[in-house]
Structure 1
Amino acid sequence: MSSEYDISLSIIVPVHKVQGYLRQCLDSLLVPDVPNLEIIAIDDASPDACGEILDEYAERDSRVKVRHLTDNVGLGEARNVGFDMATGDYVWFFDSDDYATEGAVKAICDRLAETRPDVLMFDYARSYWNGRVKRSIINHLFREPPAPEVFTLADRPSLLEMFTSVWNRAIRREFMIEHGLRFNSGYYEDVSITYPVLMAAERVSFLDRVCYVYRQRRSGAITKTASAKHFDAFDQYDRIFAFMDHLGPRMDRFRPVMFDRTIWHLLVIIERADRVYPSEKQRFFAEMTKTYNRYKPTGHVPPDDEPGLAEKHRAIERGDFKAWERLNTPKLATKAKKRGRKVRRLQKQGVLRSKEVAKERYYAMRRHMPIEENLAVFAAYWYRGYSCNPAAIYEKVREIAPHIRCVWIVKPGARKTMPEGVEYVVAGSAEYYRTLAAAKYFVNNVNFPDNLVKRPGQVHLETQHGTPLKKMGLDQMEYPVGAADMDFKALIERSDRWDFLLSANPLMSEAWERGFPCKYELLEIGYPRNDRLVRATPDEQARLRDELGVPEGKTAILYAPTHRDYQRRYAPMFDIGRVMEQLGDDHVLLLRAHYYYKLKNMAADLGWNEDQVIDVSKHPSVEDLMIASDALLTDYSSVMFDYANLGKPIVIYANDWETYKLTRGVNFDLTEFPPGVVAYAESELVDAFASRAAWGDAAAKNLEAFRARFCPWDDGNAAERAVRRVFLGEELPPMPAPAAPSAASSTAPDPA
């Protein structure tokens, strides 16, 4: 393989339960200008869609090599498997939920070619779930004092102060083999590699550049999980000091630095609230004392660069757990400061009106009453009425779990829309608060209000209300136009109440993992609201067309556009009257405006021919409209993913696709992987229907590929699966993997 480089790089990526982040990771590494590159991805028996994503990338790019493991072996052993497969001159061990910065891979290869080191160190940044990105706090070590092109640990002992992860360095492969360096199992498998490579290296080089972004996930990091496995750190540091013994007397000068680094890390582990169980802290501390006295260098002086650190060292040395506890107790002043902030926040909010205070007191009082084990609350679209996934689940609860009493919450104005026989309470009423306090189950397709308090024992099922072509949740932070003034902290606090979150397809699963990083169980079961579509019959279609007033023999096009965040008010993206005039009397448009828009009768208000344009914006069931229609016209609405289940034509009008991508953000390129015909201009839109291209072979192939990818679990039984898992507590068998995208019918979607 020819290249401007005569060195090659193998990037080893162990993969386990990171389906929401894996595409960004791989995309950041597969740069086009570095051909002497191989990505070795180890699927460590990942239970989610990671394996399918890896295979998809391997099919597209020959530089990706995938190994699927049948058993979960852990990060260390998975890295060893990848290392044994590697052929590059250098290896870079990369975590699959992180990503490289733009230009990083090329910059690393350039530096490797220039300096030919045993180890190349480069900088990293931490990316936090709230959108903050911060360069490493040790970045000054790359410049103080200025480093030569290559050096050793003896020239720069501060190397041992660098972060103990293996992903901030590229290592010469033969060098690792010569020194027998392999990863161990356990939580801290990096430690026994990161320090030894620096100790043994005869040539170290620096790249003063942020190349790696370390994602500080809100949940999912094993080292941030309380477990007895954190005791693994002691074995790993034993290996470090044994390696120093192996290298001989030349390591003596580094023992004080390595010793202080060891105690620093052990203190981090024991002092973080999310690592060692409180009941195990004294035992962990006793192991620290053993480590301290086993490896303490002669003449060691405890460091005093942090307040109380020297005292902590002395407490560890003499095994005085109570003294360490006193030194580690949070100060009362900190608590007082937090109380002061809370008081000031309440002052800013102002005094609540007495009626609201009375409601909150009543709600608080009712929360002391027992939970009613067979009471379930249902809601949809901010209490707008009976619809969507909650309605489908409600109907199935009534069928197979009739012992559950189901109560809907609606706004006062929505009472008249409720079906006969459906019990409901009005939001804000005394019965509303009593029901919130008492219910065992909560089902909604949006979040409940902030003032809802989730009691221990209550169960929340979040269904969402569509497949997210657009960015959702925390993903919106990069798109301020779409996010507007959204409070992401409050959003995540609301989402923390979820026990279950529905997913209808792998794209949805990936998006929810990134957008809502909370501790729910992801139910990959299909969409309950689509059960009707899968089971729809010609007789049902005929009945619904008659109810809507669609003349017999006419082609009924359902037009369901989405909301655009960059528009303040509704403005059609094409001249509806002119388009319908060109299509002729044999076409009827069922106009379903987004519910954000408040118009009484759009056709009448805007002067369109009401014989051709039927305004169905206020129709209570979009499923009825989908079944009644002959084809769908939309832009970027999630309705396309539902409609695909019907197997009927879909036309995408994407005249502002680039603007929508920039302002709202999308999860894949719809124009590259459409469910049918894509039109960019009004004339193309007319032609799609007038020429019957929407019913043609090319459109049908696109729809087939789209349906295989985005409707894999919609088999008519999604609602039943939801009820059995949530309300009846049954375990569900895994759903079948979706079919891989067909290269013959369309290209695979590239996440944007």
Structure 2
Amino acid sequence: MSGEQGGHVQPGLSVIVHGPDPQGHLGELLDALTAQPFAEAEVVVAAVGDWARQQAERYAARDPRMVVLPLPEGTGDSAARTAGAGRATGRWLHFVHAKDRLPAGALRTVADRTAELGDAADVLVVNHVYSTWQTSGAPSEDGRFLARAGRRAAPLADFPELLRLTPVLGNRVIRAAFWRSLDVADHDFSDDEVYAALAVLLHAGEIACLDQVAYEIRELRKQSLPPVTAPQRYAVIDRYERLHQLLDERGAHEGTRAVLYDVMVTDLLRTFTRSTMPEQVAREFFGRASRAAVRRRPADHQRPAGFEGIRHALLEENAYTKYRAFQAAGQKRREVRSAVATGKRQVSAKLRDHRYRRALGEPVDPDLAVFSAYWDRGVACNPAAIAAKLAELAPHIHPVWVVSKHKAALLPPGTDHIVPGTRRYWDVLARAKYLVNNVNFRNSVVKRPDAIHLQTHHGTPLKRMGLDQLAFPVASKGLDFDALLARVDKWDYSVSANSHSTRMWERAYPSRYTSLNHGYPRNDVFYSATAGDIRAVRDRLGIARGRRAILYAPTHRDYEAGWTPRLDLASLADRLGEDTVLLVRGHYFYGGAASPLTGLRRSGRVIDVSTYDSVEELSLAADALVTDYSSIMFDYANLNRPIVIYADDWETYRTTRGVYFDLMAQAPGQVAHTQDELAAVFETDAWRDEAALKSLTAFRRRFCEFDDGRAAERVVRRVFLGEPEEALPPVLPLLERTPAPTPEEATA
């Protein structure tokens, strides 16, 4: 973590707080820092002006880690950062603007991760939240990109999408030697933080990612800031010209160049559209932006579809007057919608209904299938596994995914998709022969008599579901059971992983569908994954060879408004020792909230995987599973690896939610009721002893009944190819199945 420098211990991390005291926020930042008692870091406050200096000196008198560097009033951000970096002695630099904050635990999270990296990367990119004068702690959109990038340090060319991350220096922790080796904020862009934030990524040799919130951006109210001048507007264009020149000088990968171009055009259009500029300045800005867009456009660049594509085309044509007319028409449409909101919604609904009904009158397309998962979150779960097998066995059937607007950008490249509410959405849903979902489509979706609706579900039920929730008001609050049954009546097929599920689905969702006792397609990978696949996943997660990885995946509780880990994870990690890594995954219900795991200690051994898309990959990477009442236990059991139940509130859960069987009596392994008991299970061999193995075997026999690695094939052949039940591949008996190798076997 530290080394010797001039007879003193060199800190691993230097936090450089820089700037004046904007609107009194510096005190809040320093409060947050002093509340994080982590001795192996230093805090350099490059205090601009007397007020900031006085504030910082009061805190430094109480905190020996804090050094105050007074700077004259009016010192710019770049100069303050440079001065702070010159005073810092740490191996890594984290620049924190005086208006922003560091969330609880961020100091240690960053320090531990940078210590783990050493000199293996030049930049560590972290997640953040942002606040305004009206709101606080809103999650960023960056988490998904960071989760997809994984923890392995890699060059920007391997994942150029990192250029789309919010461009502030606060979410980039920079290796000190790297920062001092280059002039990322060259003279012409000395106070342009966006330029500096992008330039450090373009210059970096290796970039590491940490999908944990370690920074809070505070956006000051625009009306409280000085007005933006014309030269500052034009500098936005010049910024990207200089960044493209950097790419030219470095011979950058074409993928990097394409992403930077997209970032540039998006920023230029946003600046032009959302900023109030005098007419002369606006015309000049648009003309300069147009020339930049044409000059830097990659040879094979494709404009986006829809309105965004029109905006791009008008910019490239330098069609200022047409763009203003297009913009005015859009504004007029928004004003009309606002003025007659209720009436407009009614008219829109009628118009949509008319178009939809007309599309429903057209013939069904026998080669069109619509897929959705987890309320339009993306390509996942059983629908994803079915779609993959469909491409193999029935490539003539075209898959289209329903994906919410804010998730569309995160889809795998080339994924055909529709956004709910759009014209194409209703047209495709009306004509599709197959409708596949692991939850339900919206009430307004019509199930045509000649269409096929496949309900895949997304777990084996321990908790009460459907009509069985009627007796549990906490769980059923807000549920419209009539509407639920109307949706169930649209099902043609219901997929089951075991006989228990079949019985419970037919009881909880009574209707005339056909149950498919074929297994869960998403679990096929537990029998097809190779040792190489497992090593690759563990490498992406940053799990060193020889370490035991425990996946902790708790479920949602209806009686809790949000999710807070029920374990002191940092303490548990410390007790289990250096050779154990905890992979912590929050329930997807909380995917839109800022993670509560940002204060965890030992970031290298407690990894927040809440936004990691594939639960199946996390399962393959784990040596053992710890869960409470989540259905992941039924899927993970296919791997024949240890499962430990942490049931600290079983009676409360059973009483408020209702359950189908007594998990305490039929657990898949050891059961712990306190954290001490849980730690003791893993401190000995109890987690995988003979008693645990016996319980797991009985559990697998009951709940892994149909999962043998060929579930997706059976579903595709039965539903899409129309093959009779007796012609399908038979389910392989449990004792004849070979699960994927364990991590220990894969890394031996």
**TM-score of the superposition, structure 2-length normalised?**
0.51
What is the match of residue 745 of structure 2? none
For the residue of structure 2 that corresponds to 1:568, the secondary structure is coil
C-alpha distance 705-391 of structure 1, shift in aligned 2 (>3 A): same
1:623 aligns with 2:616: yes
C-alpha distance 395-429 of structure 1, shift in aligned 2 (>3 A): same
Q: 1:565 aligns with which of 558, 565, 568?
A: 558
Distance in 1, matches of 2:410 and 2:488, equals 28
Superposition deviation, residue 691 in structure 1: 1.0
C-alpha distance 351-484 of structure 1, shift in aligned 2 (>3 A): farther
Superposition deviation, residue 355 in structure 1: 2.8
What is the match of residue 435 of structure 1? 428
Distance in 2, matches of 1:352 and 1:469, equals 41
Distance in 1, matches of 2:734 and 2:463, equals 23
- Is the 2:708–2:734 Cα contact (8 Å) retained in structure 1? no
1:377 aligns with 2:346: no
For the residue of structure 2 that corresponds to 1:588, the secondary structure is strand
Which amino acid in the other structure matches residue 696 of structure 1? D
1:718 aligns with 2:711: yes
Superposition deviation, residue 604 in structure 1: 5.2
Distance in 1, matches of 2:661 and 2:530, equals 32
Superposition deviation, residue 602 in structure 1: 3.4
1:418-433 paired onto structure 2 within 5 Å: 418-433=411-426
Q: 2:388 aligns with which of 389, 392, 395?
A: 395
Superposition deviation, residue 599 in structure 1: 6.2
Distance in 2, matches of 1:532 and 1:607, equals 31
1:458 aligns with 2:447: no
Aligned residues: 392
C-alpha distance 447-599 of structure 1, shift in aligned 2 (>3 A): closer
What is the match of residue 507 of structure 2? 514
Q: 2:518 aligns with which of 501, 525, 530?
A: 525
1:536 aligns with 2:529: yes
For the residue of structure 2 that corresponds to 1:645, the secondary structure is helix
- Is the 2:708–2:731 Cα contact (8 Å) retained in structure 1? no
1:546 aligns with 2:530: no
Superposition deviation, residue 737 in structure 1: 11
- Is the 1:652–1:678 Cα contact (8 Å) retained in structure 2? yes
For the residue of structure 1 that corresponds to 2:443, the secondary structure is coil
1:269-308 paired onto structure 2 within 5 Å: none
Superposition deviation, residue 609 in structure 1: 2.5
What is the match of residue 482 of structure 2? 489
C-alpha distance 612-627 of structure 1, shift in aligned 2 (>3 A): same
What is the match of residue 472 of structure 1? 465
1:644 aligns with 2:640: no
For the residue of structure 1 that corresponds to 2:566, the secondary structure is coil
User: C-alpha deviations, 1:667-694, integer Å up to 9, x for none?
Assistant: 1111111111110111111011111211
Which amino acid in the other structure matches residue 686 of structure 2? A
- Is the 1:712–1:737 Cα contact (8 Å) retained in structure 2? no
For the residue of structure 2 that corresponds to 1:501, the secondary structure is strand
- Is the 1:603–1:615 Cα contact (8 Å) retained in structure 2? no
C-alpha distance 591-566 of structure 1, shift in aligned 2 (>3 A): same
1:286-435 paired onto structure 2 within 5 Å: 352-435=345-428
C-alpha distance 350-660 of structure 1, shift in aligned 2 (>3 A): farther
User: C-alpha deviations, 1:609-651, integer Å up to 9, x for none?
Assistant: 2111111111111011000111111000000000001111111
- Is the 1:425–1:431 Cα contact (8 Å) retained in structure 2? yes
Distance in 2, matches of 1:585 and 1:599, equals 31
Which amino acid in the other structure matches residue 666 of structure 1? V
Distance in 1, matches of 2:481 and 2:686, equals 43
For the residue of structure 1 that corresponds to 2:588, the secondary structure is coil
1:694 aligns with 2:687: yes
- Is the 1:366–1:434 Cα contact (8 Å) retained in structure 2? yes
For the residue of structure 2 that corresponds to 1:596, the secondary structure is helix
For the residue of structure 1 that corresponds to 2:536, the secondary structure is helix
C-alpha distance 604-512 of structure 1, shift in aligned 2 (>3 A): closer
Distance in 2, matches of 1:547 and 1:526, equals 29
What is the match of residue 447 of structure 1? 440
Superposition deviation, residue 607 in structure 1: 3.6
Distance in 2, matches of 1:494 and 1:560, equals 30
What is the match of residue 60 of structure 2? none
1:682 aligns with 2:672: no
For the residue of structure 1 that corresponds to 2:450, the secondary structure is coil
Distance in 1, matches of 2:594 and 2:683, equals 27
- Is the 1:601–1:615 Cα contact (8 Å) retained in structure 2? no
C-alpha distance 633-441 of structure 1, shift in aligned 2 (>3 A): same
User: C-alpha deviations, 1:496-550, integer Å up to 9, x for none?
Assistant: 0000000110110110111011000000111100000122222211111001111
For the residue of structure 1 that corresponds to 2:376, the secondary structure is coil
What is the match of residue 721 of structure 2? 728
For the residue of structure 2 that corresponds to 1:460, the secondary structure is strand
- Is the 1:441–1:459 Cα contact (8 Å) retained in structure 2? yes
Which amino acid in the other structure matches residue 450 of structure 1? N
Distance in 2, matches of 1:552 and 1:601, equals 31
For the residue of structure 2 that corresponds to 1:623, the secondary structure is helix
Superposition deviation, residue 553 in structure 1: 1.2
Which amino acid in the other structure matches residue 615 of structure 1? D
Superposition deviation, residue 421 in structure 1: 2.6
- Is the 1:603–1:610 Cα contact (8 Å) retained in structure 2? no
Distance in 2, matches of 1:611 and 1:737, equals 40
Q: Which is higher, the Rg of structure 1 or of structure 2? A: 1
- Is the 1:370–1:438 Cα contact (8 Å) retained in structure 2? yes
C-alpha distance 586-528 of structure 1, shift in aligned 2 (>3 A): same
- Is the 1:708–1:738 Cα contact (8 Å) retained in structure 2? no
Distance in 1, matches of 2:644 and 2:405, equals 37
For the residue of structure 1 that corresponds to 2:590, the secondary structure is coil
For the residue of structure 2 that corresponds to 1:632, the secondary structure is strand
- Is the 1:650–1:694 Cα contact (8 Å) retained in structure 2? yes
What is the match of residue 598 of structure 2? 605
- Is the 2:644–2:670 Cα contact (8 Å) retained in structure 1? yes
Distance in 1, matches of 2:724 and 2:343, equals 48
Superposition deviation, residue 417 in structure 1: 2.1
- Is the 2:399–2:416 Cα contact (8 Å) retained in structure 1? yes
What is the match of residue 281 of structure 1? none
